[in-house]
A and B are shown apart, each in its own frame.
Chain A
Amino acid sequence: MNASVEQQAFRSDARDWLAANFPPALKDKSYRALADKDPALAADLEVWRSRLAGKGWGAPTWPAEYGGAGLGHPQAKVIQEEMEAIGAFNPIPTLAGMGVTMVGPTMLEYGTDDQKARHLRGMASGEVRWCLGLSEPNAGSDLASLGTKAEDKGDHFVVNGQKIWTSGADISQWCGALVRTDPAKPKRDGISFVLLPMDQPGVRTRPIPLISGASPFCETYFDDARADKADLLGELNDGWSVIKRLLQHERQSQTSAGRRKLDNEEPLQDLAKRYVGTDADGTLSDKDLRARLTDNLMAAKAHELTIARITAEARGQVKVSAAASILKNSATRVAQTKAELKMEIMGAQGVGWDGEAYEADELASVREWLFGKAASIYGGSFEVQYNIISKNILGLPETTQKG
């Protein structure tokens, strides 16, 4: 069979399997809507999760022995497309927190066989949630200046220090943490990456409310917390190489400009027609807004085309590369501008916080706009991505840090 015939056959099998297994009640629902209260939907979600996990499609490109399906990226993309086509989605990366998108891929590369055997299946099935303890109050963009210490106690480390902005720490079972194992060495040479269970007496979390009203992240304290030596990911004191790789995976996972259509999101141009009105010839009556809206739609299209081109050039392999920085910034800019435009379109209906004066989607768009401000901060801020581009792609001299 030639490649395209094979691909066609895979697509049609995937379509059949999805049609037979995706619970119709979940169609076009967002994970967030499901995570809310509806118990019937929650039950459907669990059915869907376990079927996907059984098929290995939670993390389709991972080896089958670790809970994946051993597929290539082109096939994974087919699955993704076929899911989108029927309003389905893969809840497992979300359920796994930082597991499927970041810790897992890094573990596949750096982990021991024992670590892979113990940890990857729980991520790929969405049953074990992971958080990442990187940032500290004085170590944000300058991650290498972190101070959390891990002392060598023979078979384990004792960890002490404070992390901040730890997403999902309060609901995670495991944490991948960057710790200092040799304070005598230069900043980057004395850091290690350890995995530690969150459910132990030495770990404490405190949620931090955000400007959007949500509270997805925490302050995390380690007081004599324990991490087994067997859970050191990578070499001792070589955590910096591990984390560089992990951060590439993080950028990679943040390169889509919200392409997923969730909850039947109305295209921005239709929303604008509805709120702003049209002239006799059907064009948006606010020409200024129309021009800026067009700019944003064009930027979104350019972003999409660039992803397609990079993927094509890499012959179907989605490569973790410096291009991820370009895409992360462009994704962020498109999404943030879109949220601003959406609010502007809605006018006074776009500034609501609560109460009956607003539709649910109006209130949701305000919170999304506010939460969206974080996208240019986390995962390496907008400025830090540009630093990486200038150094790693353009070869300009390093000004401040290694990307």
Chain B
Amino acid sequence: MAALSEEQSIIRDQAKAWAVEQAPVQAFRAVRDAHLPGAFEPKTWAAMAELGWTGIVIPEAYGGSDLGYLTFGLVLEELGRNLTAAPLFASALVGASALLLGGNEAQKRALLPEIAKGQAIVTLAVDEGPRHAPAATAMTAVAEAGGFRLDGEKTFVLEGMAATHLIVAARTAGRPGETAGITLFLVPADAAGIRRAPIGTMDSRGYATIRFDGVAVPADAVLGAVDGGFPLLDATMDRARAGLAAEMLGTAAAAFDLTLDYLKTRKQFGRVIGSFQALGHRAAALFSSLELARSCVEAALQALDDGAPDAAQLCSLAKARMGECLYDMSNDLIQIHGGIGMTDEFDAGLYLKRARVLEAAFGNRAFHRDRYARLLGY
């Protein structure tokens, strides 16, 4: 584990204790079975704001604590362990990052304190097809008197039903597939012409498809530069990728703990199954993979805090390595538990289903292997 400051240690310990007591896996299971409108418990979300997690990456001037991405990652890891559902990641990390990186003073002043209070839920709407492909943005933003008119559809928008504001990538120039010509817009989620529909995913979280039909936004809705939004979008998504990787780290670690525990207690042939070398080696490999992935995740978060030149590379590294680790971990979680792992009653399936959704979001392994190669210039 990274060498943590005293403050970071306190936050991590607090997050660990809170999640176990207030938002453990059983609580997520209850949320799943209750089919709540936003797919999270409002009181869980309120508690997160109360604990100050919603302001971790937000500067003090805007009501946050400016503790940085590594600290945020520590919290996300603990939530990932317990599969805690809330808009924390989507809004306080991704939404806030977009504003921090690309917002003008007025936009920041208007929204960052609201995010920090947990009042505003700001989410990024980027993908339009089933696979993560930001450059493929086809949604149009046509300049008109006093602003722009947005037309198109975004899918798989995190917390899309609960969001109060959307940060939308749309094309002001160029063609789908090109990075140039994309612009980001900050749009209230209740603007005229917006229609939202929930998506029922296997991880039982809140996603939405959002349709824009002639949505009129003023010129000052632009976030960053007109036509030059892609670098801002990419930088925002790197923060998302590192944050998701941190959450995945927690999910994988919890899956590992469950597996290890079972290896030590389940008996067949008169001995604990962990004593079978076939399984012992698998546990060792899984643990090694987890350790290696952890280093990548922490390095990515640290690089974001440091503004390091290789931050983008490290974010892709973290998402790819963590993806692989969680894939193997979640599959073996089921396999090693045998029949019991296949039952809905046991938690393993919840981890497996969440694992695949986390993998698909903001670029899977294939996407990030490719991006890593490109960033290294080959």
Contact = CB atoms under 8 A, between A and B. Distances in A.
Interface of A: 135, 138, 140-142, 145, 164-165, 208-211, 213, 275-276, 286-289, 292, 340, 343-344, 346-358, 366, 370, 373-374, 376-378, 381-383, 386-387, 399-401
Contact of A373 (B209, B278, B342, B360): B342
Contact of A357 (B200, B270, B345, B348): B200
Interface string B346-372: 001100110011011100111101100
Given A343-B356, A347-B360, A140 B269 contact: no
A374 B309 CA distance: 46
Contacts of A401: 269
A357 B343 contact: no
A370 B361 CA distance: 19
B198 interface: yes
Contacts of A348: 127, 130-131, 155-156, 207, 360-361
A387 B353 CA distance: 30
Contact of B338 (A210, A349, A355, A377): A377
B279 interface: yes
Which 6 A-B pairs rank lowest in CB-CB distance, beginning with the nearest?
A: A211-B349, A355-B200, A347-B131, A347-B130, A288-B366, A349-B130
Contacts of B204: 353
A351 B343 contact: no
B129 interface: yes
A141 B339 contact: no
Interface of B: 127, 129-132, 155-156, 197-204, 207, 209, 267-271, 276-279, 327, 331, 334-335, 338-339, 341-345, 348-349, 352-353, 356-357, 359-361, 364-367, 369-370
A350 B344 contact: no
A317 to B, nearest CB: 32
Given A275-B130, A350-B130, A351-B201, A286 B342 contact: no
Contact of A400 (B269, B341, B342, B364): B269
A386 B282 CA distance: 14
A275 B257 CA distance: 36
Given A142-B268, A350-B360, A353-B201, 13 more contacts: A141-B269, A210-B349, A211-B342, A211-B353, A286-B366, A348-B360, A353-B202, A354-B200, A373-B331, A374-B342, A377-B334, A381-B335, A399-B277
A15 to B, nearest CB: 41
Contacts of A287: 370
B338 to A, nearest CB: 5
A377 B342 contact: yes
A30 B277 CA distance: 41
Contacts of B338: 140-141, 377, 381
A141 B278 CA distance: 14
Given A276-B131, A288-B366, A357-B209, A352 B201 contact: yes
B357 A351 contact: yes
Contacts of A138: 267
Contacts of B197: 356-357
